[in-house]
Amino acid sequence: MADFNQIFNDIKSQLGPLAEQDLKEFAGQGKQDAEAFLEQSRANLAKWVQQLAAKEINQDEFTFLVESQKAAAEMTALQAANAAQVRIDQFRDSVFSVVVKTAVTAVAGTV
């Protein structure tokens, strides 16, 4: 009979590094994206303030542009949420794969 505790410990030892690697990559990419977005927002806002002062755009147009930058921030957050969901799905699939492989191997070895 396969030793349940042994199989469980086997699975645990495989899942730890898997989760750590996935999360580290995701957090690193998220930080880079946020920094790039902030830099781009600053440059855009400076430009639009200047255009408003020079009467190249009117106040309604200025408001639309600022709103569109806010929409871009929200869309970037939604992109990150989607990427996190994809990572979770992939991690879950990896967990299933590790559990099934480890359990089947252990059980087959005892038959």
Footprint of another protein (CB under 8 A): 1-2, 4, 7, 44, 47-48, 51, 56-58, 60-61, 64-65, 67-69, 71-72, 74-76, 78-79, 81-83, 85-86, 89-90, 92-93, 95-96, 99-100, 103-104, 106-107, 110-111
Task: Return the number of the residue (42 or 92) whose C-beta is nearest another protein.
Answer: 92
Task: Return the number of the residue (1 or 17) whose C-beta is nearest another protein.
Answer: 1
**Contact (Cβ atoms closer than 8 angstroms) between residue 110 and residue 2:** yes
- A 10 A CB-CB count for 53 gives 10
Minimum CB separation from another protein for residue 13, in Å?
Answer: 15
- Cα angle at 100 between 98 and 101, to 5 degrees? 65
Minimum CB separation from another protein for residue 77, in Å?
Answer: 9
Minimum CB separation from another protein for residue 22, in Å?
Answer: 10
CA distances from 106 to 4, 10, 66, 70, 95 (A): 9, 10, 60, 54, 16
Q: Helix, strand or coil for residue 58?
A: coil
